[in-house]
């Protein structure tokens, strides 16, 4: 049975200030929890007896059995899948010289947590190990973002940095790419390298002026056919997938 103090802790983690204070975050759904358990520290696993019977090999510092009704009271999901886990937020360091040896993503104030989680998942798919977020980018440890990562957060390192200052330090070590409406076509007008930093901008405003001045190569994802009226822009998650796919295709 869950104590009042445990219920208070779990429900408080819906707010960023408490996630930051305690260094914890919540993950729900069987796939997500099972993906994270081998790679991240789990402080508390709350699950039904049926779930624990099917997943007996799972390990956590503390495991509490609950009924489905008890789980519904603390879950953010309409239909809980029998488990809720409280994980310790990973803390990573990064060697800035490594930017010249690998491909990374940088996110300039991406606000939608679903977009952020999707981008982390895209990074995982395309073998991008580091994502650098501006200080005003959505919190990757929020419930919606965590769910959207589909477990990719266990393999992709997310860093929150002063993005303009970070890019300035990287500028003499590697190419910095950015997506713009007046860039060169990513398919036939720009040389793409296997290393570098790809900057993706805010959903409504694109890449900020402060970040733009550090971009060395401007990229365009062209619409087809040329000159035909189409949607004004692409969702930032979809745009990220297209850009990453083209970078990796060039490596084949």
Domain with CATH 3.30.1330.30 in the chain: 7-88
pLDDT at 24 (0 to 100):
98
Mean pLDDT of 209-226: 92
Q: Nearest to residue 154, comparing CAs of 107, 121, 132?
A: 121
Q: Cβ–Cβ contacts within 10 Å for residue 217, how many?
A: 17
3-class secondary-structure state, position 71 = helix
Per-residue pLDDT tens for 226-249?
777 778 789 999 999 999 999 999
At 250, list the tokens: 């060039």
* Distance spanning both ends of the chain, measured CA to CA: 54
Cα dihedral across residues 88, 154, 147, 74: positive or negative: negative
Instruction: Name the H helices within 126-206.
Output: 143-149, 163-170
At 170, list the tokens: 């990287």
Homologous superfamily, domain 96-249: SPOUT methyltransferase, trefoil knot domain (3.40.1280.10)
Range list of β-strands (E), 61-216: 63-65, 83-88, 103-107, 130-134, 157-161, 176-185, 196-200
Burial class, 123, CB count within 10 angstroms (exposed 0-12 / middle 13-18 / buried 19+): buried
**DSSP β-ladder status, 176-185 and 217-220:** parallel
Domain with CATH 3.40.1280.10 in the chain: 96-249
Per-residue pLDDT tens for 118-148?
999 999 999 999 999 999 999 999 999 999 9
Tell me the range of 43-52, 69-78, 222-231 where mean pLDDT is highest. 43-52
Q: Nearest to residue 231, comparing CAs of 179, 181, 177, 182?
A: 181
pLDDT at 187 (0 to 100):
93
DSSP letters spanning 129-151: -EEEEETTSPPTTSHHHHHHHTT
DSSP class of residue 65? Answer: E
Homologous superfamily, domain 7-88: Ribosomal protein L30/S12 (3.30.1330.30)
Maximum CA extent, the chain: 63
């Amino acid at each position: 049975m869950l104590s009042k103090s445990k219920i208070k802790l779990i429900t408080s983690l819906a707010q960023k200030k408490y996630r930051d204070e305690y260094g914890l975050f919540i993950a729900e759904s069987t796939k997500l929890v099972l993906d994270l358990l081998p790679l991240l520290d789990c402080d508390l696993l709350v699950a039904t007896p049926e779930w624990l019977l099917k997943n007996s090999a799972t390990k956590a510092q503390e495991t509490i059995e609950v009924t489905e009704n008890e789980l519904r009271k603390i879950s953010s999901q309409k239909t809980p899948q029998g488990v809720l886990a409280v994980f310790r937020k990973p803390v990573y360091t990064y060697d800035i010289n490594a930017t010249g040896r690998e491909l990374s993503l940088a996110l300039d104030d991406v606000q939608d947590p679903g977009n952020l989680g999707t981008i982390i998942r895209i990074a995982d798919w395309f073998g991008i190990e580091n994502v650098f977020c501006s200080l005003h980018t959505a919190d990757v440890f929020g419930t919606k973002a965590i769910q959207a990562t589909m477990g990719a957060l266990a393999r992709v390192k997310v860093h929150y940095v002063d993005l303009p200052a970070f890019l300035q330090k990287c500028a003499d070590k590697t190419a910095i790419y950015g997506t713009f409406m007046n860039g060169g076509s990513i398919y036939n007008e720009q040389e793409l390298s296997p290393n570098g930093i790809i900057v993706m901008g805010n959903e409504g405003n694109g890449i900020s002026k402060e970040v733009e001045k550090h971009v060395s190569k401007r990229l365009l994802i062209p619409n087809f056919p040329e000159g035909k009226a189409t949607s004004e822009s692409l969702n930032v998650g979809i745009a990220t997938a297209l850009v990453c796919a083209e970078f990796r295709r060039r490596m084949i």
